[in-house]
Chain A
Amino acid sequence: MRRAVLTTVSTSTLILLLLTLKPHHSAGPADGTARSGVAPAATSAGTPRRGSGPANGTYTGAPIDTRYGTVQVEAIVRAGRLTAVKVLRSPSENGHDREIASYALPRLTQEALNVQSAHIDAVSGASYTSAGYVRSLQSALDRAGV
């Protein structure tokens, strides 16, 4: 199953960063399962843009179910660069989930934006994966074609 190309180095670096965050201790092997029956390519329903100049606009990511709840983000792209990430849905089943989400999602967003310009290939670090965030953002960026 193929998904849209990430055509810019900055965005690739961003995704690498997001994907390098470590799992928290209790993460199981099936964390971040896609909404049942919806394959990733189908969730990013927009036509991917390739080589057609910088993308502009707001792109909504697919809602991704994790064991802690649903995560959905929106990517705001200007001149082919990610400029903001808005969290549309985050886990809120109980106080602990809310606490994790309130800490982790802004952190992921800040890291995503900051590291775009750091000119690094990848990141090593002891954070935890928010796989739902990553995949929802991935699908938003697929739609943006950045």
Chain B
Amino acid sequence: MSGPFRAHWTEPVSERGRGLRHVEHAMGTVFSFDIRDTPTAAIESALRDAVAWLHHVDRVFSTFRPDSVISRLARGETGCDDCSSEVREVLDLCTHAGRATGGWFSHKPDGTLDPSGLVKGWAVERAWQILRQAGAHNICVNGGGDLQLSGESAPGVPWSIGIAHPQRPGELCTIVTGHDLAIATSGTAERGTHILDPYTGAPADGPASITVVGHRLTMTDAYATAAFAMGGRVRNWLEHLDGYEGFAVLRDGRSWRTRGFPSTESRRAG
């Protein structure tokens, strides 16, 4: 480990004649920045800031780091009153997400403080804002499969995002196209169920995967986590959730989508 700027690459996308890409390993996953604007000094500087921001979030919020603020809060060694404004902001957002989902989002899923279900989306959204404030418009920030997008992938061409099929490796189950979107997918990973039902503490028995599309990733990501935990209730809940759309793949292979889901038809990759 040699600090936050190890193991990355940042390159202009020479084929397109514009743009900037960057990949960063942080928070136990991989973040990619795909900026399709002509790079300026301000955008390049903002990209460095955005990367530093991700490592900062990891230091403060990681539940894997015993010395993080969240770990110390969870052990009761410090109280919320002593926390920074960003920690209070995240905890407030978690509380909001819990209320908005009828308790299906929880930052204490097994009784221990763990805001991870919201932090990554929040961190990605903030990183995207850092780039926007520097004058970039056409941006895709991807945090381990959860994305915040704006603008377009090329002049006149919307972003096109594949949703990985939860049961058929290498296949996409649908493609989402759009200009200003947040996309988050929750599901069972290879190691088995990783989302807990906050009411029972047991692994959630929902669809194979749920994709939620909204405008900003913080709540979109939290809603995707909650939606996965809801099981059979989720379709009706998403259909009535203003500003968000959903797509689910069921365990028997069938799928459904809310009426406004911004996708093209299902298709197979390759």
Contacts and interface: CB of A to CB of B under 8 A. Distances in A.
Contact of A126 (B27, B32, B189): B189
A127 B172 contact: no
Given A122-B32, A123-B172, A124-B163, A114 B190 contact: no
A136 B211 CA distance: 30
B160 interface: yes
B259 interface: no
Contacts, number: 196
Interface stretch (A53-61, A71-79, A85-93, A105-113): A105-113
B218 interface: no
B21 A6 contact: yes
B58 A29 contact: yes
Interface in B179-205: 183-191, 194
Contact of A40 (B1, B9, B159, B162): B9
Given A107-B170, A120-B161, A113 B23 contact: no
Interface stretch (B11-19, B45-53, B234-242): B11-19
Contact of B1 (A33, A113, A115, A116): A33
Contacts of A128: 189-191
Nearest to B8: A1
A2 B11 contact: yes
B132 interface: no
B147 A124 contact: yes
B164 A125 contact: yes
B14 A19 contact: no
A20 B31 CA distance: 7
B170 A114 contact: yes
B184 A124 contact: yes
Given A125-B163, A128-B190, A8 B270 contact: no
A120 B144 contact: no
Interface string A1-43: 1111111110010011101111111111111111000011000
A124 B65 contact: no
A40 B186 CA distance: 32
Contact of B65 (A22, A23, A29): A29
Interface string B126-152: 000000000000001010111100000
Contact of A118 (B9, B140, B146, B270): B270
Contacts of B9: 1-4, 40, 138
25 contacts: A5-B12, A6-B21, A23-B28, A29-B65, A30-B1, A31-B28, A32-B7, A34-B7, A39-B6, A110-B169, A111-B169, A114-B171, A115-B170, A115-B269, A115-B270, A121-B153, A121-B160, A122-B147, A122-B159, A123-B163, A124-B146, A124-B162, A124-B183, A125-B163, A125-B165
Interface of B: 1-2, 5-16, 21, 23, 25-32, 34, 58, 62, 64-65, 140, 142, 144-147, 153, 159-166, 169-172, 175-176, 183-191, 194, 209, 211, 269-270
Q: Would you list the 3 A-B pairs with minimal beta carbon distance, nearest first?
A: A125-B164, A126-B187, A3-B9
Interface of A: 1-9, 12, 15-17, 19-34, 39-40, 50-51, 100, 103-104, 106-107, 110-111, 113-129, 131, 134-135, 138
